[in-house]
């Protein structure tokens, strides 16, 4: 029996965290060959729990080691075609009870046995929990409100010192959008963390396995042992993706040490098979959460997940209703007024249909403006640029300066634009503008220094400082919503039709 070293790594994304070859020491693990009930893998700490060492376990049949009833239980699991990983059982040996979770991994069935931290099995009151959630759901007005309630509830169920709801952006940077914490702790609320803090393969794993626990970040990993420790059968060949005892990446342990955390529990929040966020719990001392309390915490995650889309859609729906109303008003005015250009450009509905702060129409050399707009000269120049860059097209951005550097001088009025070209005169078009929205991002440490690099560029370790690092984002507007972009399209289309119609009439008059 050979112990293997813990994985040594030089790069975050390539660390194979699902096959660490070791577990955390608050329980022990057995890997049984599917169908044959021969024990192929065990963790080196078996004797600590059941007084029988690996040399007497590996290669044996479970009935050689465990009392008849337990052995037949295990055998049943080992032979099951589909293993229900959510169906644990309690197993008692020499008066000590173990919670046993079972799942399949390749050719093996993995049994993970954990003694109950307080000695006995305590089932949570799921009825009370569910009833609480229903009342939370009814009284919370928006998604953020709901997240706050879930953070409070999860902390009261689990007893962690800090519970955060952490939401990812498109780049997988994350922000703490709700927090429940012990009163004496400093708040992490609204802090942002770079995507490098949770590498891609870890996020992939957290989609498949929605809950993980680090019981004590100062633990010594317990190696997995195998019968036959050859190249194709090593302790690292056992895939621990779905395991609860899986030993955690040493990189991440270092990160948590740098943060001063003692134990964690993390629950994935998914939307459309993607990671939307996490419920991240910190404790400042070691903490083992028993299986059934973990399930309670997981239930809070499911509760929240079930509401994310509903709340997001509801918030979006309210906005799109207002946008629709404004579009209808703007179109009515367009249809009912002879001098539709003059009427449109002064109409408050023109702005409201896209929630714009300004708008401008350039038609046959005349500029019509509405709301907050830059100088006529700057606008005419912008129309010329856009009709050149996007002829017969539409274009929208929340960062005009990105494609048009001169926008930096007018970002007070035009940091974001929706543009539609019009086929009447040269450079004709319509524009909706949005003011700059200066945003302060409170990074927990400089994101550019999230990883300490060595001189030859190799990634060495996670950053040591989480000191607030403020980034000021300029020249950007709040992003345009789909409903706003669509309403602008509808209006532009109608306006173009009016212009065409007038042209045709003018030609008829001439003939
Ligand atoms: C994993 N990083 C994680 C996890 C979290 C974070 C939540 C999931 C594991 C867990 O349950 O703790 C990050 N934790 C945070 C953040 C907060 C928090 C942002 O509480 C904010 C409050 N990490 C780095 C660097 C590397 C790295 C530089 O910062 C690599 C060089 C690696 N993080 C890393 C790895 C994992 C991880 C490999 C996976 C750990 C595992 O599951 O084995």
Q: Would the pLDDT of 8 be above 50?
A: no
Q: Interhelix angle for 143-158 vs 291-336, to 10°?
A: 180
What does the DSSP assignment read for 320-337?
A: HHHHHHHHHHHHHHHHH-
**333-384: pLDDT as tens digits:** 888 887 777 777 788 999 999 999 999 999 988 999 999 999 999 999 999 9
For a pocket test of ligand 1, which of 11, 202, 457 has the largest count of ligand atoms closer than 8 A to its C-beta? 202
Q: Would the pLDDT of 172 be above 90?
A: yes
* Coil vs helix vs strand at 438: coil
Q: How far is the CA of 37 from the centre of ligand 1 (A)?
A: 36
Q: 284 to each of 105, 292, 351, how far by Cα in Å?
A: 33, 22, 51
pLDDT of 232:
63
Mean pLDDT of the 241-266 span: 95
Does residue 191 have its Cβ closer than 6 Å to ligand 1? no
Does residue 283 have its Cβ closer than 6 Å to ligand 1? no
End-to-end C-alpha distance for the chain, whole angstroms: 100
pLDDT of 305:
93
**179-215: pLDDT as tens digits:** 999 999 999 999 999 998 999 999 999 999 999 999 9
Which residue's structure tokens are 């309403």?
487
Q: What is the CATH number of domain 27-115?
A: 3.30.450.20
Averaged confidence pLDDT in the chain = 88
**pLDDT-derived band of residue 6, with 50, 70 and 90 as boundaries?**
very low
User: Other CB atoms closer than 10 Å to residue 435's CB: what's the count?
Assistant: 18
**305-315: pLDDT as tens digits:** 999 988 888 88
pLDDT of 424:
77
Mean pLDDT of the 427-444 span: 93
Exposure class string for 143-172: b at 16+ Cβ within 10 A, else e? beebbbbbbebbbebbebbbbbbbbbeeeb
* Neighbouring C-alpha atoms within 13 Å toward the C-beta of 331: 16
Does residue 443 have its Cβ closer than 6 Å to ligand 1? no
Which residues share a beta bridge with 269? 277
More confident position, 228 or 292: 292
- Give the range among 19-33, 129-143, 198-212 with minimum mean pLDDT: 129-143
Does residue 111 have its Cβ closer than 6 Å to ligand 1? no
**pLDDT-derived band of residue 54, with 50, 70 and 90 as boundaries?**
very high
* Neighbouring C-alpha atoms within 13 Å toward the C-beta of 216: 11
Q: Would the pLDDT of 9 be above 70?
A: no
Which atom of ligand 1 lies closest to the CA of 261?
20
Does residue 17 have its Cβ closer than 6 Å to ligand 1? yes
Topology of domain 337-438+475-510, CATH: Beta-Lactamase (3.30.450)
Pick the CATH number of 123-221+249-318+439-473 from 3.30.260.10, 3.30.450.40, 3.20.20.140, 3.40.50.20: 3.30.450.40
Does residue 198 have its Cβ closer than 6 Å to ligand 1? yes
* Share above pLDDT 70 across residues of the chain, in percent, rounded to a whole number: 93
- Domain layout of the chain by residue ranges: 27-115, 123-221+249-318+439-473, 337-438+475-510
Does residue 174 have its Cβ closer than 6 Å to ligand 1? yes
**pLDDT-derived band of residue 120, with 50, 70 and 90 as boundaries?**
low
More confident position, 231 or 118: 118
CA distance 399 to 471: 17
Mean pLDDT of the 147-155 span: 96
Q: How far is the CA of 6 from the centre of ligand 1 (A)?
A: 18
Which atom of ligand 1 lies closest to the CA of 247?
43
What does the DSSP assignment read for 354-386?
A: TT-SEEEEEETTEEEEEES---HHHHHHHHHHH
Q: Are 457 and 442 in contact (CB under 8 A)?
A: no
Fold: same for 27-115 and 123-221+249-318+439-473: yes
Does residue 197 have its Cβ closer than 6 Å to ligand 1? yes
């Amino acid at each position: 029996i050979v112990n293997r070293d813990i994985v040594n790594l030089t790069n975050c994304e390539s660390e194979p965290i699902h096959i660490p070859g070791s577990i955390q020491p608050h329980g022990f693990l057995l890997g049984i060959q599917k169908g044959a009930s021969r024990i192929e893998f065990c963790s080196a700490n078996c004797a600590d729990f059941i007084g029988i060492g690996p040399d007497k376990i590996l290669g044996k049949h479970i009935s050689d080691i465990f009392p008849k009833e337990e052995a037949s239980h295990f055998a049943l699991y080992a032979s099951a075609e589909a293993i229900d990983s959510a169906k644990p059982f309690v197993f008692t040996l020499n008066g000590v009870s173990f919670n046993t979770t079972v799942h399949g991994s390749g050719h093996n069935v993995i049994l993970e046995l954990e003694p109950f931290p307080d000695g006995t099995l305590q089932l949570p009151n799921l009825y009370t929990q569910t009833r609480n959630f229903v009342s939370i759901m009814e009284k919370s007005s928006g998604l953020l409100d709901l997240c706050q309630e879930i953070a409070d509830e999860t902390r009261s169920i689990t007893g962690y010192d800090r519970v955060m709801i952490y939401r990812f952006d498109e780049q997988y940077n994350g922000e703490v959008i709700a927090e429940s914490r012990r009163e004496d702790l400093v708040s992490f609320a609204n802090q942002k963390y770079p995507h490098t803090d949770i590498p891609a393969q870890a996020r992939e794993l957290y989609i498949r396995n929605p809950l993980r626990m680090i019981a004590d970040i100062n633990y010594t990993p317990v190696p997995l042992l195998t019968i036959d420790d050859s190249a194709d059968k090593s302790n690292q060949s056992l895939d621990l993706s779905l395991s609860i005892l899986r030993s955690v990446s040493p990189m991440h342990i270092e990160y948590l040490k740098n943060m001063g955390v003692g134990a964690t529990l993390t629950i994935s929040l998914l939307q459309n098979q993607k990671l939307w966020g996490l419920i991240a719990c910190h404790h400042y001392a070691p903490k083992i959460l028993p299986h059934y309390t973990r399930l309670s915490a997981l239930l809070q995650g499911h509760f929240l997940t079930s509401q994310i889309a509903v709340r997001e859609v509801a918030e979006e729906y309210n906005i799109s209703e207002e946008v629709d109303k404004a579009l209808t008003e703007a179109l009515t005015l367009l249809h009912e007024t002879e001098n539709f250009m003059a009427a449109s450009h002064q109409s408050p509905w023109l702005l409201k249909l896209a929630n714009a702060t300004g708008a401008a129409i350039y038609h046959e050399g005349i500029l019509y403006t509405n709301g907050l707009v830059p100088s006529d000269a700057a606008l005419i120049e912008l129309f010329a640029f856009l009709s050149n860059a996007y002829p017969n097209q539409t274009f929208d951005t929340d960062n005009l300066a990105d494609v048009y550097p001169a926008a930096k001088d007018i970002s007070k009025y035009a940091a974001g634009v929706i543009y539609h070209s019009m086929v009447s005169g040269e450079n004709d078009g319509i524009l909706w503008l949005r003011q700059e929205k200066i945003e302060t991002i409170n990074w927990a440490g400089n994101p550019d220094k999230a990883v300490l690099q060595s001189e030859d560029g190799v990634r060495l370790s996670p950053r040591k400082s989480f000191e607030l690092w403020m980034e000021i984002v300029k020249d950007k507007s709040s992003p345009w919503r789909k409903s706003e972009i669509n309403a602008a399209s509808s209006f532009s289309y109608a306006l173009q039709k009016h212009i065409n119609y007038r042209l045709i009439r003018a030609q008829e008059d001439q003939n």
